[in-house]
Chain A
Amino acid sequence: MFKSLLSAAALSTLMMSGAFAADMGPAIVFDIGGKFDKSFNESMFNGAEKFKKESSVAYGEFEIANEAQREEAIRNFADKGYSPIIAAGFAQAAAVEKVAKEFPELKFAIVDMVVDLPNVESIVFKEHEGSYLVGMAAAMASKSGKVGFVGGMDIPLIHKFACGYAQGVKAANKDATVFQNMTGDTGAAWNDPVKGGEITKGQMAKGADVVYAAAGATGLGVLQAAADGGALSIGVDANQNYLHPGKVLTSMMKRVDVAVYNTMKDGVAGFKPGIHALGLKEDGVGYAMDDNNKAVFTPEMAAKIEAVKADIVSGKLEVHDYMADNKCPVE
């Protein structure tokens, strides 16, 4: 008797929360780095802000400060009935998977990772395609024939950037050398501009004159060291050309802002579960051109890169994806 009463109570709470769900709107959980990291998280934040401005629907947000908060933050939004709940970054996959199973009636989305559940939308990017294009730009802008890559944490996703970049460099100049370094093996590798700067100085000492950073806030140190030492740098995720005008060759843009905006706009009604891989064709990745890099990114380079971009979009040229087999055809 007591047991059935309890389950009835539980059921009614569940239904209440279900009824509540429709009103709460979307929520977003940012990853370590924070929503003003001038990079990945900030780009997501911009997409969410754009949605808020256009639809005047408020959204829930949470910036996690340590690993343990991920699951709690997502579950907290789920408890309150937010939907869809968007999780930023590959590191949240386990948390999303767990909570999405507990709340099958809610919708979830994860960026940069695949979670295979019927109520989860997985948004991944073809970073290798965008990196290929900036790699070509790097090889064309390099006078020494040596270019560098500084990654954040040593994970397959960052190798995907590195591999696409290396392929692009070799395509534009097959004799070019690519130095590839990772900042570290822990989450701290995204937040150590001093170390990023030292690694960049090391690559410059070996002759690199264009350095591509795919390292979150560590990348700011890379861009700074390159600008101080007279080399060019390439930003990542958001358009970082403005950080050192005339000294940043271009930025490999990952349009997470567009992805977040679309997911929020589609809402619960237009929710599309499954894997969505956004590449050059979908305008999910690209390179940045503006007044700040006009002087270093010449029209000839742009013309060549546009031609290759058209080939990739049409499928004529395929860039190898490191995460497909954890191997890279070039070094």
Chain B
Amino acid sequence: MDLSIFFEILSSTIRMSVPLILACLAGLWSERSGIVDIGLEGKILTGAFAAASASFYFQSAWAGLFFAVIISVCMALVHGYASITQRGNQVVSGVAINMLALGLTSVIGNSWFKQGGRTPALGDTTRFMPINFPGRESLFNLPVVGAISKIFLDHSVLTYLAFAMVPLSAWALAKTRFGLRLRAVGENPHAVDTAGISVAKLRYQAVIIAGILCGVAGAYLSTSLSASFVRDMSAGRGYMALTALIFANWRAWPALYACLLFGFLQAIANFLQGVKLFGFEIPVQFFNALPYVMTVILLAGFIGKSIPPRASGVPYTKDR
């Protein structure tokens, strides 16, 4: 294995991590406010579909992103209505969102485009292509420096947006009044309510933020990594993001590291398939299963402890 492949794997790690990071932060915001979000997968999927369709219709990737966010927020509000206003079971509502997303995207896609739920292929001008920095080509042609800079600079604007969301989320949750209140709602909603702050309003805000982030993740899948929507293209990334969230103990910076680690494992699985390391071939299934195996080991208490927000999953009812 030569060095250039190693650099390519790192570059691929970043590409594979982006949807995970966005979805993981979405889960972070939602669960920190006390709303368990199994529906990340479904929101990514509707976001991906909306992005690819709108981008094709309006011939603009930004229009695609806009609609991805809008539609994903709509799905998030459905989840919010069921679990905040109606105090329903949050896991059931999340699963329902996932099923709804899978069915709706296929059916609507098929009736609009008549391609079996697939959206028409997008041209380069209607996708988020890697940003064309000035002097990019000459930099990439340099030996070593070029290869290393390519790992970090050969990405679309959504990638940088995703990475920027990590410090932003960490800061907002730790330092701002809104973030502190939001976390309090996830730990002890009664105390927040006693202080005269609306629990429902805070939780709705958290769910909407989660919707926005999932929409961006979906747009990244269908208009940056690929050039059309395909049925069920989120392929379990929402669940993997949830796994990363648990692995990261519901904190923003560890979430980034967990997502990068999981992305790295996916990249290895894709790039090193069939390559012999130290004389024998490691089966690709090993890398695919590793994130889940690691999380199970973590939950069993071998690496550390993972403690969810205390009120997460519990609908809030005022005491009389």
Contact = CB atoms under 8 A, between A and B. Distances in A.
Interface of A: 33-38, 41-42, 63, 65, 179-182, 184-185, 188, 191-195, 197-199, 201-202, 205-206, 217, 220-221, 224, 243
A139 B39 CA distance: 46
Contacts of A34: 110, 116-117, 231
Contacts of A199: 270-271, 273
A174 B121 CA distance: 37
Interface string B227-247: 110111101100000000000
B187 interface: no
A206 B9 CA distance: 11
B230 A198 contact: no
B85 to A, nearest CB: 32
Contacts of B274: 179-181
A35 B106 CA distance: 13
A202 B274 CA distance: 12
B5 A191 contact: no
B170 interface: no
Contacts of A217: 118, 230-231
Given A34-B231, A206-B5, 8 more contacts: A38-B115, A182-B273, A192-B235, A195-B235, A199-B273, A202-B12, A205-B8, A205-B271
10 contacts: A34-B231, A184-B288, A194-B235, A197-B226, A198-B267, A202-B8, A202-B273, A217-B118, A220-B228, A221-B226
B221 interface: yes
Q: Give the one of A36, A181, A195, A202 with max B CB within 10 A.
A: A202
A185 B285 contact: yes
B114 interface: yes
A224 B117 CA distance: 18
Given A37-B116, A185-B285, A217-B118, A201 B8 contact: yes
Interface string B65-77: 0000000000000
Nearest to B103: A65
B225 A191 contact: no
A221 B12 CA distance: 15
Contacts of B267: 198
Contact of B114 (A36, A197, A201): A36
Contacts of A193: 226, 228, 230, 233
A147 to B, nearest CB: 14
B245 to A, nearest CB: 21
A33 B232 CA distance: 11
B116 A35 contact: yes
A227 to B, nearest CB: 9
